[in-house]
Amino acid sequence: MSGTITISVDAMGGDNAPRAPLHAAKLLLRERPDARFIFHGREEVLTPLLDEFAELRPVSEIRHSETVITMDDKPSQALRKGRGTSSMWATIQSVRDGEAAVAISGGNTGALMAMATFCLRTMEGISRPAIAAIWPTVRSDIIVLDVGATIGADADQLVDFSILGAALARAVFDTPSPTVGLLNVGVEEAKGNEWVKDAGKILGETSGVGFTYKGFVEGDDLGKGTVDVVVTEGFTGNVALKTAEGTARQVGTYLRDALKSSWLSKIGALFASQALAAIRSKMDPRTVNGGVFLGLNGVVIKSHGGTDEIGYKSALGLAYDMARNDLIEKIRDGVSRFPAPADPAAPTSSEAPTA
């Protein structure tokens, strides 16, 4: 993709909206001057902010939306309340109508997924959408999905998630054949639920069509970076994500307390300040903010609702990269290369009718 990248922004979504999204856009523009923005929300609120962040004005447009989806709205309520009128819906619709390359919101996750699925529709060949997260490890960043879109998944859906995650890895990491692993309670083939084992068999037989299947991985492999893409269903993935975020904050608190515990540790911290700053940056969840909705006919990014302009800027950067690297085309290519599931009604060679 060449030329400018237009990002459609739900400026009313999130705890720190609308200031955080606009401030983040200003920060992103300094690094990616070819970015353009469509901000959706209440015009009387957004116009003064756009005047405050003056460098955004030449590359931005405000689209008035009166309705705002709240964090308390259930997905069905959000669809009834906000379809066609809310800032969240208008943000997604700009992608559907070809006005923007990618949509981003820090609002209600369930409502955003419902609206995105209803507005953009699921991509042909994909049974259910998934939310993918960029996950820091000791080796390098990896992709983990699903982290909340589909609670429970059968074997075919886990295979779909593998295709989607591999396509995202190719777009983000520029890896021709990413490695994929299924999250399980053990690496042995006999362990796990039946649908996980069935998905492993399917992936093992078709490895090499856009990715390399490495088998089962365990929870500690998430931190090791054993594979480029870790696949699981939404309940387990969301629990793992929240656990990792909480652990990072816990370790950070332990580290700060230890460095303040005595005058000797304070002196040591002073000498190690550069290394400690690097550790803080690596453990800061704002630097990897942004979940990618995969499997739809358009790219939608979910920013953490409670983040500030630094975290929102990370999500905007991810949105920019997804559009610049043609994520949708990479997914379609992955789907087309993966063998279609066999038609159970069609006879196999051993079942071929005899004359």
Residue 355 pLDDT grade (very low, low, confident, very high; cuts 50, 70, 90): very low
CATH of domain 126-289: 3.40.718.10
Give me the residues paired with residue 122 across strands.
296
In eight-state DSSP terms, residue 121 is: -
Give the separation between CA 84 and CA 81, rounded to whole angstroms: 9
Round the average pLDDT of the chain to a whole number and report it.
86
> Is the confidence at residue 354, as pLDDT, over 60?
no
pLDDT of residue 347: 40
Report the share of the chain in percent with pLDDT over 90: 49
Q: How confident is the model at residue 345 (pLDDT cuts 50, 70, 90)?
A: very low
H helix or E strand, kind and range, residue 249: helix 234-259
DSSP state of 86: B
Cα 269 to chain center, whole Å? 35
The confidence band for 87, taking pLDDT boundaries of 50, 70 and 90, is: very high
| pLDDT on residue 207 | 63
Residue range 1-121+296-332, CATH number: 3.40.50.10950
Q: Which residue has the higher pLDDT, 353 or 247?
A: 247
pLDDT at 89 over 90: yes
Q: Is the pLDDT of residue 344 over 90?
A: no
Sign, Cα dihedral of 316, 318, 323, 324:
positive
pTM, two decimals, is 0.83
pLDDT at 177 over 60: yes
pLDDT confidence of residue 266: 76
**What is the per-residue pLDDT for 351?**
37
DSSP 148: S
pLDDT at 287: 74
Instruction: State the average pLDDT over residues 266-287.
Output: 69
Q: Write down the domain spans for the chain.
A: 1-121+296-332, 126-289
